[in-house]
């Protein structure tokens, strides 16, 4: 599938891999400490290596979260 290698490079290779969601979440909390939560880091399950990574939330997801927050307030 064309583009899959580039996708894997971006989402998986070169990133810290965590065996469990809890591990990744602990790392995320350490990374986000002292920072604005607007840095939008999230834990995601990796379809390439089966592990978990910490990465930035895509703009599309970010907008959905913000829209939902505005509804709640």
Stretch binding Zn ion (CB under 5 A), from 25-33, 35-43, 45-53, 54-62? 45-53
State the nearest-atom distance from the C-beta of 46 to Zn ion, in Å: 3
State the nearest-atom distance from the C-beta of 3 to Zn ion, in Å: 16
* Phi and psi angles of residue 30, each rounded to the nearest 5 degrees, phi first: -65, -40
**# of chain residues touching Zn ion (CB under 5 A):** 4
Binders of Zn ion among residues 8 to 27 (CB under 5 A) are 12
Q: Is 46 in the site for Zn ion (CB under 5 A)?
A: yes
What six digits make up the tokens of 28?
A: 């995320």
Do the beta carbons of residue 52 and residue 45 sit within 8 Å? yes
- Write out the residues near Zn ion by the rule CB under 5 A: 12, 46, 48-49
């Amino acid at each position: 599938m064309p583009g899959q290698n580039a996708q894997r490079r971006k989402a998986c290779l070169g990133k810290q891999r965590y065996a469990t969601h809890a591990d990744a979440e602990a790392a995320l909390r350490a990374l986000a400490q002292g920072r604005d939560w607007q840095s939008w880091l999230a834990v995601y399950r990796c379809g390439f290596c089966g592990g978990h990574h910490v990465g930035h939330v895509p703009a599309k997801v970010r907008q959905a979260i913000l829209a939902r927050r505005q509804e709640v307030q």
